[in-house]
Amino acid sequence: MLVGFLASRPGRWLRIVTGAGMVVGGLVSGTSRGAAVALLGLGPLVAAALDWVPVAALFGLPMDGPTLRRELGVSDEASLLEGFPRPGTREVSPTLH
């Protein structure tokens, strides 16, 4: 189901990358049409960053990501950055010479 994919981690990343691409591409073009594309790109970018799925409202489902995943029976996933190493954490301490 499309809504389930959009609420998943890969779906959120897809919306973030798409929105960011629209914003950057629109701003780089330097035209009024490009500015409109950049403004439209803010929609998917902000919605995915805040874990909202506005398309779900068209199907009578909640827009909030965790609530939507619970209602669809999809396991609630960890944050977007789960699996990436945290900055400043190292397994081996650095050696100064």
Q: pLDDT by residue (tens digit) across 11-56?
A: 999 999 999 999 999 999 999 999 999 999 999 999 999 999 999 9
pLDDT confidence tier of residue 73, bands split at 50, 70 and 90: confident
**Cβ count near 31 (within 10 Å):** 10
In a domain, 96, yes or no: no
**What are the residues whose beta carbons fall under 8 Å from the beta carbon of 24, sequence distance 6 or more?**
38
In a domain, 62, yes or no: yes
- pLDDT at residue 91, rounded to an integer: 65
Chain centroid to Cα 7, Å, comes to 9
In a domain, 58, yes or no: yes
In a domain, 93, yes or no: no
Taking the CA atoms of residue 33, residue 39, residue 42 and residue 43 in that order, the dihedral angle to the nearest 10 degrees is -100
In a domain, 50, yes or no: yes
Count of domains in the chain?
1
In a domain, 47, yes or no: yes
In a domain, 65, yes or no: yes
Which SS3 state, helix, strand or coil, does residue 87 take?
coil
In a domain, 27, yes or no: yes
* Range(s) of the domain holding residue 29: 9-71
